[in-house]
Homo-oligomer: A and B are copies of this chain.
Amino acid sequence: MILCVDFSSETALYTQLRDQIIIGIASGALKPGEDLPSVRRLAADIGINIHTVNKTYALLREEGYLVMDRRTGASIAEMPPSDPGFSDHLSGLLRPIAAEAACHGMDAAAFSAFCVKIHQQVRQPAAGSAVPAPSPAAAAEKQKPGV
The answer to the question of A94 belonging to the interface, with a C-beta cut-off of 8 Å to chain B, is: yes
Residue in B19, B119, B139 whose CB lies within 8 Å of A89: B139
Residues of A46-90 whose CB lies within 8 A of B: 62-65, 79-83, 85-90
Distance in angstroms from A72 CB to nearest chain B CB is 21
Task: Specify the chain B residue showing the minimal Cβ separation from A94.
Answer: B118
The answer to whether B23 touches A145, judged by C-beta atoms less than 8 angstroms apart, is no
- Cα(A85)–Cα(B108), bound, Å: 20
Known: A26-B100, A92-B140, A98-B122. 12 other contacts (CB 8 A): A22-B103, A62-B145, A79-B103, A85-B143, A87-B114, A88-B134, A92-B135, A93-B100, A93-B139, A93-B140, A107-B119, A112-B116
